[in-house]
Structure 1
């Protein structure tokens, strides 16, 4: 499978065009998944934890928890990576190596997703980060177009 083509097709399916805002992207992901999406910063989560962000699925919503960063772009990249997993339809339910006896109070698919994040060289992680970069570029492009409009037309 050509991951570049599948990422392009996944983004095209959002019907956002070549540039869009972060909020437009979040709305499109919610529409596609037919689920509420909440994004929450965890101030106590940081680099020392080895986790920048995580996507959790409950029965009624998607939840992206992300670490604090002094850089708004860095925080955005954390979230875009998780949105990329959603856009690409990554399913972290099928990892037979995730032990069931760890974290027994956390649902199985969430537990597997958390444990799998330690392996950042998987195809899914690389493709998600690549797509997150593309999404960030489109968001920057949108900001640049809007600022040029304001420069020209005030």
Structure 2
């Protein structure tokens, strides 16, 4: 997997340009996946628990739960990393039958993603983090352009 090519193609396929708002990104993801995207902070969960964020795919929506943090940038990175997994289509076609017996009430794709989380150096996690960084740059670029526009043109 060429991660840079994968990330560049994913950004291009979003058709958002080089800079965009968080809301425009959410809308693009919802349109692409044809389902609602819900993002929620989980009270009591923090990064010391070893979990920053989780993505649950349900039949009608995607839910991203994230840990509490005082840093807005840290929180944004948690969420953008999960957005990246959605955009890159990670875990869309993987076979999860082997763990059906162990965790029958949790959707198969979710179980697999949770159980694979220990391998942070795998290509999918590296690609998701790289895409999250690019998404963050696009959002920051839009915010900077907006503030400079107002600063220059009032």
Taking structure 2 as the reference length, the TM-score comes to 0.93
Query: Secondary structure of 1:102's partner?
Result: coil
Matched, 1:26 2:26: yes
After TM superposition, give the deviation of residue 97 of structure 1 in Å.
9.5
Cα–Cα, structure 1 residues 92 and 112, in superposed 2: closer, same or farther, change >3 Å? farther
Q: Distance in 1 between matches of 2:98 and 2:119?
A: 12
Could you list the runs of 5+ residues in structure 2 that have no partner in the other structure? none
Could you list the runs of 5+ residues in structure 1 that have no partner in the other structure? none
After TM superposition, give the deviation of residue 91 of structure 1 in Å.
1.6
Output aligned runs, 1:78-117, within 5 Å: 78-91=78-91, 94=94, 99-117=99-117
After TM superposition, give the deviation of residue 95 of structure 1 in Å.
5.7
Cα–Cα, structure 1 residues 31 and 96, in superposed 2: closer, same or farther, change >3 Å? closer
Taking structure 1 as the reference length, the TM-score comes to 0.93
Which residue is 1:144 aligned to? 144
Cα–Cα, structure 1 residues 46 and 92, in superposed 2: closer, same or farther, change >3 Å? farther
Query: Secondary structure of 1:45's partner?
Result: strand
Output aligned runs, 1:6-21, within 5 Å: 6-21=6-21
Per-residue Cα deviation, 1:4-62 (whole angstroms, up to 9, x for no partner) = 11211111111100001111111111111111000011021112221100111001101
- Greater RCO between the two (CA within 8 Å, min separation 6)? 2
Which residue is 1:135 aligned to? 135
Runs in 1 of length 4+ with deviation above 2 angstroms?
A: 92-104
Query: Secondary structure of 2:131's partner?
Result: helix
RMSD: 1.7
Judge conservation of contact 2:52–2:78 (CA < 8 Å) in 1: yes
